[in-house]
Structure 1
Amino acid sequence: MINEVAYSDVLEIRHKVMYPDKDKDYVILPDDDTGLHIGYYKEGLLVSVLSLFLKNRELQFRKFATLPAYQGQGYGSELLKWVLDYAKDMKFDRVWCNSRIEKTDFYKKFEFMETDQVFEKDGHQFIILERKFEHEG
């Protein structure tokens, strides 16, 4: 089941998955208070999260994380499909993310395209991926 998630629960998953060796405050985004935090629940357990940020007609998702024991089982894919359906329903022009280079193949399955925007942060290489939408008149 996909639903809105309590911010404290989002931070817990982000911390466990992304930067377990850092302080929990490290996974806080400056604009988290303006985001919509979404998660996938399997039998009542939160297993995958991401945070959505809208600017103009574009939707960015950030801090997409799935608990290690649940990775590769389709929960993150279901969450991303939900985001894309939401973006289409709301007639957003573009959905985008900062992807770790080694994760780009996952996003390409969902028709995300690489941009020429590449950067490094925290010892990881990132690339901005996007999916654009055309809307009927």
Structure 2
Amino acid sequence: MKIKIIEASETWQIRHEVMWPDQPFEFVQLEEDALGLHLGVYLQDNLVSIVSCFINDGEMQFRKLATLEEYQGKGIGSELVKYILQLAKEKKMKKVWCNARVNKKAFYEKLGMQDTEHVFEKAGQEFTIMEVLI
């Protein structure tokens, strides 16, 4: 498994396939993508997991963490979050946070993130804000 910096456009197919398959492809293309740090996990030469990180005021938000379905449950997403947390420490961030689907909350909790209980809805999905202080 290798984690590498990738282009924003390289995240879009996995974002669409895993997170929002019922939405138009453009739905997963964020205006902020040009400002982000995008990471991809490769197994051999195959991109199997992606995430996008955005830094603002000493905080790092990660968005659109997605792993191809056939690779889920193998610890790849967990390794990617651990990589983000380490990167945030190196960059001296105060906090790392994300908008997590409510049904994925336990995944983030096992990685040390806390539920802020700020719940909201987007496109029919319920989200909660998860965070960890660095």
Question: TM-score with structure 1 length normalisation?
Answer: 0.94
- Which amino acid letter does the alignment assign opposite residue 132 of structure 1? L
Partner of 1:54: 55
Q: How far is the alpha carbon of 1:6 from its aligned partner?
A: 2.4
SS in 2 for 1:64: strand
Partner of 2:77: 76
Structure 2: segments with no counterpart, 5+ residues: none
Compute the RMSD of aligned alpha carbons.
0.8
- Which amino acid letter does the alignment assign opposite residue 41 of structure 1? Y
- Which amino acid letter does the alignment assign opposite residue 85 of structure 1? Q
Q: How far is the alpha carbon of 1:8 from its aligned partner?
A: 2.1
What is the CA–CA distance in structure 2 between the aligned matches of 1:71 and 1:49, rounded to whole Å?
A: 12
Question: 1:11-49: CA deviations, max 9, x gaps?
Answer: 111011111122110111121110011011011100000
SS in 2 for 1:22: coil
Partner of 1:102: 103
What is the CA–CA distance in structure 1 between the aligned matches of 2:126 and 2:13, rounded to whole Å?
A: 24
Partner of 1:115: 116
- Which amino acid letter does the alignment assign opposite residue 40 of structure 1? V
Identical-pair percentage: 46
Partner of 1:21: 22
Partner of 1:91: 92
What is the CA–CA distance in structure 2 between the aligned matches of 1:116 and 1:108, rounded to whole Å?
A: 13
Partner of 1:132: 133
